[in-house]
Amino acid sequence: MKKLFIFFLICFKGYSQDIYFPDKKWIEKSPESQGLISDKIKNAIKFAIDNENSVENDLRISIIKSFGKEPYFKIKGPTKDRGKPNGLIIKNGYIVGKWGDTKRVDMTFSVTKSYLSTMAGIAFDKKIIEIENYVKNYVWDGKFDDPHNSMITWHHLLNQSSEWSGELFGMHDWADRPPKNLNIEEIKKQKLLPPGRKYKYNDVRVNLLSYSLLNVFRKPLPEVLKNKIMGPIGASTTWRWYGYNKSMVIIDGLNIQSVSGGGHFGGGLFINSEDHARFGLLFLRKGLWKGKRLLSANWIKRATKPSENNPSYGYMWWLNKDKRKWKGLPETIYYASGFGGNYIIIIPDNNMVIVARWINSNKIGEFVKKVVESHK
């Protein structure tokens, strides 16, 4: 019996040693040591570098070019000139491929949404919110009072099916990505469906989720992110999460900025690729970091479940399914995606995380396929 116990103890220790988590210094290993073909990894990296996104280095120009035709559009938060393509390939927790300046802090646009979703996950795990509950029960300032908005749940806000109607920080919900063939009066008159009936990618409503979570936590979301996620996973102190010049709100007598869920109007998360990779590794490991649970596996399962109105979208994570499916790659892949070619990609079947910055968005599936096909 004693020998059997020792055998199982040795097996357990061996298993635990195989599950690597980076300390302050992240260990780099050769692709071959992790069952990959080195030349194929090199070719994939070259592909990422050669297929740089076409957005201007001055991201203010790019933002205005892409969204400036929206009614009353204005950049309301900070921006930053972008760097060159960079990224990391993580296998079994180790860095097996790297290109560019992975420590450079850049805007990451809608990748921020996956971090915002995680703030909701923390609230859910701590039983501060119930996902199917009406948000009106938590936010009492009139934003969810009318008959239409009062039917919105956290679930609706998270999968972008809320159809919320209103104005937030000087931005109207109807002015975000409206149909191009309508004038302003026609846009205003568009009929809203009941909450939960229609998917609509809308940054004003995403910012409403951020504002609502601020009302729940009663403290700045960047503080929650730092204390509950980024600190425990060993992220750097260089990342910042911004809102807008006029998104300050009074919470319990304190002036706190409500942060944005992306860079559509400026702001959002400014972060380097190595911190992104740690965040991605936390999700690959089902919310565990060095034996400590930071997020429940239940939450991650919910966040990566296809939405009723969009099978390619979960709780602000994109899924490799339906219209967004990358050919020849498993449907278990999910990823955070942002304007300009910013990605955190989780590949559970291959125990991999990929971070890619400023890659041509039309080439991302082909790039990921090259990485996956590097396995021996």
Residue-range domain boundaries for the chain: 26-372
CA-nearest of 264, 268, 253 to 221 is: 268
Residue 325 CA: distances (Å) to CA of 318, 331, 335, 367: 10, 7, 11, 14
Residue 134 CA: distances (Å) to CA of 106, 144, 153, 212: 35, 9, 4, 11
Residue with tokens 């921006």: 79
Let me know if 349 is exposed, middle or buried by CB neighbors in 10 A (0-12, 13-18, 19+). exposed
- Run of H or E residues at 367: helix 364-372
What integer pLDDT is reported at residue 127 of this predicted model?
98
pTM: 0.95
CB atoms within 10 A of CB 246: 12
What integer pLDDT is reported at residue 18 of this predicted model?
74
Note the CATH number of domain 26-372: 3.40.710.10
**Cβ partners under 8 Å of residue 41, min gap 6:** 31, 89, 96, 97, 371, 374
- Residue type present at position 137: N
pLDDT along the chain (376 residues), means of 10: 42 55 97 98 98 98 97 97 98 98 98 98 98 98 97 98 97 95 92 97 98 98 98 98 97 97 98 99 98 98 98 98 96 98 98 98 98 97
Contact 85, 99 (CB under 8 A): yes
What integer pLDDT is reported at residue 303 of this predicted model?
98
